[in-house]
Amino acid sequence: MIQLGLSGFYHDSAAAIVIDGKVICAIEEEKLSGEKHDSSFPFKAIQWCLDYAKIRIDEVDMVCWYEDPNLKYERVRQFIGKWGGLRFPKKWRKFNNRWNMDEGALKPLLWSIGYEGVITYTKHHLSHLAFSYYTSPFDKAIGLSIDGVGEFDTIYTTMCDDKGFHKIQTLQFPHSLGLIYSAFTAYLGFKPNEGEYKVMGLAPYGNNQRYHSIFDKVATIGNEFDIIKMNMSYFTWETSENDMFNQKLIDLIGFPPRFKDEPIEQHHKDLAASLQRWYESALYFLINRITNIWNCENLVLGGGCAYNGTANGKIKTFTSIKNVWIPFAPSDAGSAIGACLYQYHQTLGHPKVKGGDNQNPYLGPEFSDKEMLKVIEGHKDLKVEIVRNRERYIQKIAKLIQQGNIVGWFIGRTEFGARALGNRSILANPHLSDVRDRINKVVKKREMFRPFAPTVTQEDYQKYFISEEDVPYMNQVVKVRSGVNIPSVTHIDNSARIQTLKRESNPLYYDLLKEFEKLTGTPILLNTSFNLKDHTMTNDPEKAIWTLKNCDMDYLVLGNFLISK
């Protein structure tokens, strides 16, 4: 059974090949096009996946689309088109024109690349939940998907077991946890569907009580009928594609929306803190409501909101959940895989693999020494050292990092998802207090308040961080233990978004951590994604060298080549 999974037309378009339930490869369109959050039909991603898997398009048994286009069309028709030409004629015409070129033209788009076989449609949240549950180590779990919006649902809760998914409760558009977070993200001057993690990074600098009363007015958490209900008199996402809030919200908050290039002031930080606090209270209420219905200690999370690592890290503190699983790409890109897994297990009836499968996030391109050397030869101004001895190689790089150098780390296959997990990373010494500001200012060239994440060996993480379970995909924020001196990866509230690493997951990166431990006493490295601000994560050797040349990075590890300017 060869499946081609696809997501697209909203943000983070992606493609994946799954054969007999095993993910062979996956990549986001943006990593090939260079356009951040590329939402176009993933032509490039499809072609790369087919080439990697050595499969012709006519050998694909099933194309799995990540949502139901007909239900999505019906939702937009109800909220924009129901009044026809009386209220929103321009918006309705614009939507239809675009629809006829994207999801409404899905079959012709597939025909254009030679595919005329079976196309399946999996509901948006079920794609999220299938990816989360079928990669988890659990036989039974509560499934929770939180997104801006799927077709009609914005929150979907289910019980997952060997008999399938059993729906518990949903929340329907326009009421949405994800959209209210995005609306305030826009208010704070950041781009929705991209800048939410900036709000999370800003929140610890603020007073989370200052604007708390605002959220009591714009939303109600927990009543007899609805999980969460928005007061839509403050918001416009129901009928507008360009604006998410109106003047009434501005009057309520008391200061105008921030433009993206304006300074960030204390009231912006306080609003971010109040938003994060409110989101967390809504999330924990929701989880506790579910566990009152279904007695289960395991939780799998999906949807774009599953990237809220600050909230994720407190789930076990404020709920009865004991075990949390969040996959490496819980947003729409991961649903290209999730749609395949849903059809393979739920529709075709194949049982879940005991203990989970498909937990490897390294699913993208890999380059040989020969391919890398060909690229390097086009840059005569670089200093290049070839290192063949693995032990010496690791020792030298660990020493460079220990001495304060910032190193681009490009090895193996590209990660799938938004996180750099040790193959397309920028690495640095977490013990040096000036490293964070240096990377933000002259390497990443981004906002100075933004924190960095630490990678730590799996068997040692509890020595340094307060966490009851390993966090392999950098999707939970936890507290740093008292007395642990790692200032460049410790946020202002003494927290860190950790990645715990087992050797079998990434041997070379793990060995580097252990070698660094010999020099410093701690198996921890600062790890941030290999890209500059507003650029996509580095995917190929040419972009890696371009990045080295266009920032103050000190060294680039490109496979077996150590490169400097």
10 Å CB burial of residue 145 (0-12, 13-18, 19+) is buried
Mean pLDDT of 333-352: 97
The answer on pLDDT for 351 being more than 70 is yes
Greatest mean pLDDT among 89-98, 395-404, 443-452 lies in: 395-404
The answer on pLDDT for 246 being more than 80 is yes
Whether the model pTM is above 0.75: yes
The answer on pLDDT for 241 being more than 60 is yes
Dig out the tokens for 60 from the structure.
């694909």
**Digit-coded pLDDT (tens) for 84-127:** 445 667 777 888 888 888 888 999 999 999 999 999 999 999 99
The number of angstroms, rounded, from the C-alpha of 533 to the middle of its chain's C-alpha atoms is 16
Q: What is the CATH T-level fold of the domain 2-131+333-347, as seen in this structure?
A: Nucleotidyltransferase; domain 5 (3.30.420)
The answer on pLDDT for 187 being more than 80 is yes
Measure the CA–CA gap between 37 and 11, rounded to whole angstroms. Answer: 5
Mean pLDDT of 499-517: 97
The pLDDT value recorded for residue 57 is 97
Q: Closest by alpha carbon to 547, among 444, 439, 427?
A: 444
Q: What is the CATH T-level fold of the domain 177-326, as seen in this structure?
A: Nucleotidyltransferase; domain 5 (3.30.420)
Mean pLDDT of 137-149: 95
> Given this chain, do its domains 2-131+333-347 and 177-326 carry the same CATH topology?
yes
Beta bridge partners of 144: 157, 301
Query: DSSP letter at 103?
Result: G
Mean pLDDT of 461-479: 95
Measure the CA–CA gap between 546 and 34, rounded to whole angstroms. Answer: 13
Mean pLDDT of 420-447: 92
CATH superfamily of 369-564: Carbamoyltransferase, C-terminal domain (3.90.870.20)
The pLDDT value recorded for residue 132 is 97
Between the alpha carbon of residue 31 and those of residues 302, 414, 545, 564, the distances in Å are 22, 9, 16, 24
Domain parsing of the chain, residue ranges: 2-131+333-347, 177-326, 369-564
The pLDDT value recorded for residue 324 is 97
The pLDDT value recorded for residue 85 is 46
The answer on pLDDT for 226 being more than 70 is no
Mean pLDDT of 44-57: 98
The answer on pLDDT for 488 being more than 50 is yes
More confident residue, 63 or 433: 63
Q: Round the average pLDDT of the chain to a whole number and report it.
A: 93
For the packed helices 390-402 and 507-520, what is the interaxial angle rounded to 10 degrees?
A: 50
More confident residue, 284 or 223: 284
The pLDDT value recorded for residue 304 is 92
The pLDDT value recorded for residue 77 is 81
**Digit-coded pLDDT (tens) for 526-550:** 999 999 988 999 999 999 999 999 9
Report, in angstroms and rounded to the nearest whole number, the Rg of the chain calculated over CA atoms: 23
Measure the CA–CA gap between 407 and 153, rounded to whole angstroms. Answer: 43
Residue entry with tokens 């981004």 = 446
More confident residue, 489 or 227: 489
The pLDDT value recorded for residue 78 is 81
The pLDDT value recorded for residue 390 is 87
| pLDDT band per the 50, 70, 90 thresholds, residue 320 | very high
The answer on pLDDT for 432 being more than 90 is yes
Mean pLDDT of 31-38: 94
Residue 174, preceding peptide bond in cis (omega within 30° of 0): yes
Please report, rounded to a whole number, the percentage of residues in the chain having pLDDT higher than 70. Answer: 98
Mean pLDDT of 30-50: 96
**Digit-coded pLDDT (tens) for 414-427:** 999 999 999 999 99
Q: Tell me the three state secondary structure of residue 380.
A: coil
User: What are the residues whose beta carbons fall under 8 Å from the beta carbon of 7, sequence distance 6 or more?
Assistant: 13, 14, 42, 65, 66, 67, 127, 332, 333, 335, 336, 339
More confident residue, 179 or 95: 179
The pLDDT value recorded for residue 353 is 87
Dig out the tokens for 327 from the structure.
């996959």
**Digit-coded pLDDT (tens) for 353-377:** 887 889 999 999 999 999 999 999 9
Between the alpha carbon of residue 158 and those of residues 29, 151, 213, 320, 348, the distances in Å are 30, 17, 32, 17, 20
Measure the CA–CA gap between 187 and 256, rounded to whole angstroms. Answer: 8
Measure the CA–CA gap between 57 and 4, rounded to whole angstroms. Answer: 9
| pLDDT band per the 50, 70, 90 thresholds, residue 29 | very high
Residue entry with tokens 């912006």 = 268
Phi-psi region of 121 (alpha: psi -120 to 50; beta: other; left: phi over 0): beta
